[in-house]
Amino acid sequence: MEPGRPGRLSYRALPTPGRQRTPVEDKALAKRASIDEQLAEIRRGAEEILVESELRDKLERAEAAGRPLRIKAGFDPTAPDLHLGHTVLLQKLKAFQDFGHRVFFLIGDFTGMIGDPSGKSATRPALTPEEVAANAETYAEQIFRVLDRERTEVVFNSEWMNGMSAADLIRLASHYTVARMLERDDFHNRYTEGRAIAVHEFLYPLVQGYDSVVLEADVELGGTDQKFNLLVGRELQRHYAQEPQVILTMPILEGTDGVQKMSKSLDNYIGVQDPAKEIFGKAMSISDELMWRYFELLSDRPIADVEALKQQVAEGRNPRDVKVELARELVARFAGPDQVDAAQQAFESQFQKHQVPEDVPEVTLAADEAEGLPLPAALKGAELVASTSEANRMLKQNAVRVDGAKEADRERRLAAGGSYLLQVGKRRFARVTVTEV
């Protein structure tokens, strides 16, 4: 207890791990990029930068002093199993690293080890230190596929928060008002809708903000949903007589469907640890429009290069070929450069074999309800063969597929009310809908 020091936490007495571990402070900045070039890459794909003029100022002073900026991003300590959506933020951290700045990958294990103290949520179990350590390992395996290991410091806020007393937390909480907390969207909605907010939930943004104080962050990155918490950090740094951090929010990445956000549960994700072939195939499955979004948010290519690719497509280059380049980049990053060619070859031979053209003709054929439609008649009716005898020959040669599965039975009947994808050989397709007579 420090009764004589109201209004100030003695955070300097706490370890500031970043400061101690890697003495890269005076290293020359890595990429020889002008401030404008840095800003352009940092701005790329970002949802919001608050305040950009402050960021420019920080970049200029960092350059003048030969001292890198301190970039912070916080991550959940629960079992990480990352997909490309998570790497949007990592990619932006990487951009800072490429310009020689220093990244603090902060694992919020302090609150993770508290879990859900109300005990109401079974989905937020309290983690043990062992679990935190294991999860940090899992993070490391994944994030260093994007981040530069040399310029990244993985820090745990338990390092300073476990040593914080209740009195210090009270002092910390005195720097923010209830009204401002209730301005946060989710708090506001829950409060006005009469859904419970436990008092400790007001303390978590303060803990996150205090992490910025301890790390003396120059910039904090987060998803758009993190904006409020990032602003708390700015505010607290002012209270602790620090220059407030610039905050940078990144958008949520759409999944491979191009509509909903990428998520495991929607099965529209590309996992960081997916096999090379899967990464390649999923990347090739996205729309041309989404491809440009992925280039913006996920590619290491400079924006100028991406603009050049767009120009080529506008002038007639097949977008599929550009997509191949994106897919190759992602496979190289996440599965390894040695996996790229094999993944592409596997995809293309698969593509040759089973690709269903986009313009499959639609045919409607009538059949007796009880009898159904004999398959040879269906093949002829859909004009996939010239005659029933050709149909039978194709069936005999194993050259017929129904809904992707080989079919050799000439007695096979298609039931009325159904719809079937019929294929003869590699190139002939038709979708047949069978109606009752």
State the residues that interact with a second copy by CB under 8 A. 1, 3-7, 110-111, 113-119, 125-129, 158, 161-162, 164-179, 181-182, 187, 191, 194, 196-203, 206-207
Pairing of the two strands 413-414 and 102-107: unpaired
Only one residue has tokens 């301890």, namely 214
Of the pair 5, 426, the CB lying nearest a second copy is at 5
Q: Could you tell me the smallest distance in angstroms from the CB atom of residue 214 to a second copy?
A: 13
CB atoms within 10 A of CB 48: 13
Residue closer to a second copy (CB basis): 1 or 370: 1
Nearest residue (CB) to a second copy, 207 versus 283: 207
Q: What is the largest CA-CA distance in the chain?
A: 100
Closer by beta carbon to a second copy, 4 or else 23: 4
Which one, of 361, 375, 365, lies nearest residue 434 by Cα? 365
The dihedral built from the CA positions of residue 367, 368, 369 and 372, taken in this order, carries a sign that is negative
Q: In whole angstroms, how close is the CB of 21 to a second copy at the nearest point? A: 22
Closer of 201 and 325 to a second copy (Cβ): 201
Q: Give me the least distance between CB of 212 and a second copy, in Å please.
A: 17
Q: Write down the least CB distance from residue 334 to a second copy, Å.
A: 32
Shortest Å distance, C-beta 6 to a second copy = 4
For strand 246-250 and strand 419-424, is the pairing parallel, antiparallel, or unpaired? unpaired
Nearest CB to a second copy, comparing residues 23 and 194: 194
Amino acid, single-letter form, for residue 385: V
Q: What is the C-alpha end-to-end distance of the chain, expressed in Å?
A: 88
CB of 181 to a second copy, least distance (A): 6
CB 176, min distance to a second copy, A: 5
Is the Cβ of residue 13 or residue 196 nearer to a second copy in the bound state?
Answer: 196
Q: Is 222 in a helix, a strand, or coil?
A: strand
Residues 53 and 365: their CA atoms lie apart, in Å, by 67
Q: From CA 145, how far away is CA 147, in angstroms rounded?
A: 6
Residue of 428, 81, 96, 35 lying closest to 269 (CA atoms): 81
Taking the C-alpha atoms of residue 133 and residue 112, their distance in angstroms, rounded to an integer, is 12
130 vs 411 by CB, closer to a second copy: 130
Least spacing, CB of residue 228 vs a second copy, in Å: 14
Specify the amino acid at residue 152.
T
C-alpha distances (whole Å) from 242 to each of 18, 218, 233 are 16, 10, 11
Whose CA is closest to 298, among 148, 146, 141? Answer: 146
**Residue 63 Cβ, how far from a second copy at the closest point, in Å?**
36
Q: Rg (Cα) of the chain, in Å, rounded?
A: 29
The answer to whether 340 touches 276, Cβ cutoff 8 Å, is yes
Instruction: For residue 155, give the nearest of 103, 232, 226 by alpha carbon.
Output: 103
Give me the amino acid identity at 153: E
Give the closest residue to 233 by CA, choosing from 419, 104, 115.
104
To a second copy, the closest distance from the beta carbon of 111 in angstroms equals 8
Nearer to a second copy, 49 or 172 (CB): 172
- Residue 298 tokens read as 């996920």
- The residue (of 57 and 116) whose beta carbon lies closer to a second copy is 116
Return the number of the residue (115 or 275) whose C-beta is nearest a second copy: 115
Q: To which H or E segment does residue 329 belong?
A: helix 319-334
Instruction: Report, in Å, the least distance between residue 201 CB and a second copy.
Output: 8
Is 45 in contact with 297 (CB distance < 8 Å)?
Answer: yes
